[in-house]
Structure 1
Amino acid sequence: MRIGILSDTHGLLRPEALDFLRGCDHIVHGGDIGGLEIIDALSALAPLTVVRGNNDGGAWAEAVPETALLEAGGLRLFVIHDLAQLRIDPVAAGIRVVVSGHSHRSRAEQRGPVLYLNPGSAGPRRFRLPVSVAELRIDGEAIVPRIVELGA
């Protein structure tokens, strides 16, 4: 199973990001989406899980949850925009992957049985950080993360 992961599009869905996400079994957006048109474009590619970021406001964003729990490939994933606001114990909840955004810094870090994955920012370049997306390959209990810089 291949899960495409992006965050912090801030209203800009780059063609390179769309190309990367084509063929995914599921897509996760970690917040700061920037508008309903981003959700529509992503959901046309694959089933989609999204969470609201701190910059997502207005009527369209009211229907977007702040967190999401996803079952994929037999594993549980928890999605939240700002990891600092995580109020659950992922290990106790049986979660294998926590997906976040907010920092615009990509990172894949294994902490015990839980993988923490931030795909970085797929939208406008900010803070001189690379523009990036990520994927998870799930095969049984094996989880393989990959972060990809766009335009690199």
Structure 2
Amino acid sequence: MRILMMADTHVPKRARDLPEQLWAAVEAADVVVHAGDWVEVELLDALEGRAARLIGCYGNNDGAALRARLPEVARAEVGGVRLAVVHETGAAAGREERCAAAFPDTDVLVFGHSHIPWDSTTASGLRLLNPGSPTDRRRQPDCTYLTAVAADGHLTEVRLHRLPRRGA
């Protein structure tokens, strides 16, 4: 199962739409994961129409319309991998310990909020992934998203994709 992970799209506040490269990746993926801060429900509608399967949660910038359709924490099994998706995990310091305690029956936790790509594994084996943001790099050198493959209960081929800067 090919998985595409994104977060903090902030459409249309930070960009009018997702980059074309990302839309192509959405259409190639078996599962699309969005870890919150959609901002407008139109992006949820568009992803539901173009993704084979969509798993998402709401973020702190998402209003009532998105919160009515999305959970605070999404959970799913993908290729035998127990996946959870949440927007915020708190400060980087102590993140592994907090998340391992909060998500004991999870193999992979996808999160957003910071716009900073993150890939770490806790002592208990929980993998933490933040895809960064495909539309708002903030203090990062590039806008980013993640892809991976889930099969037989394992996540492999995790890759951070850097998007070209607008106008470049």
Normalised TM-score (structure 1) = 0.88
**Residues paired across the two proteins, number:** 150
User: Given that residues 100 and 122 in structure 2 are in contact (C-alpha distance below 8 angstroms), is that contact kept between their aligned partners in structure 1?
Assistant: no
Q: Match for residue 38 of structure 2?
A: 33
Name the CA distance, whole Å, in 2 between partners of 1:150 and 1:74: 29
Name whichever structure is richer in helix by fraction.
Answer: 2
Name the CA distance, whole Å, in 2 between partners of 1:67 and 1:104: 18
Name the CA distance, whole Å, in 1 between partners of 2:66 and 2:129: 26
Is it true that 1:13 corresponds to 2:18 in the alignment? yes
CA 1:109–1:6: 2 relative to 1, 3 Å = same
Is it true that 1:140 corresponds to 2:152 in the alignment? yes
* Residues 77-101 of structure 1: CA deviation (Å, up to 9, x unaligned): 01000012859532x32x1100000
Is it true that 1:124 corresponds to 2:136 in the alignment? yes
Q: Which runs of 5+ in 1 are unaligned?
A: none
Q: Which runs of 5+ in 2 are unaligned?
A: 12-16, 91-97
User: Given that residues 80 and 86 in structure 1 are in contact (C-alpha distance below 8 angstroms), is that contact kept between their aligned partners in structure 2?
Assistant: no
Name the CA distance, whole Å, in 1 between partners of 2:60 and 2:69: 14
Deviation at 1:126, TM superposition (A): 2.2
Q: Match for residue 42 of structure 1?
A: 47
- Please tell me the residue identity of whatever aligns with 2:163: L
Deviates more, 1:106-115 or 1:56-65: 56-65
CA 1:38–1:8: 2 relative to 1, 3 Å = same
Q: Match for residue 93 of structure 2?
A: none
Matches within 5 A, 1:72-111: 72-84=78-90, 89-90=102-103, 92-93=104-105, 95-111=106-122
CA 1:142–1:60: 2 relative to 1, 3 Å = closer
SS at match of 1:71: strand
- Please tell me the residue identity of whatever aligns with 1:59: A
SS at match of 1:102: coil
When Rg is computed on C-alpha atoms for both structures, the one with the higher figure is: 2
Normalised TM-score (structure 2) = 0.80
Percent same amino acid at aligned positions? 33
SS at match of 1:19: helix
Name the CA distance, whole Å, in 1 between partners of 2:100 and 2:140: 30
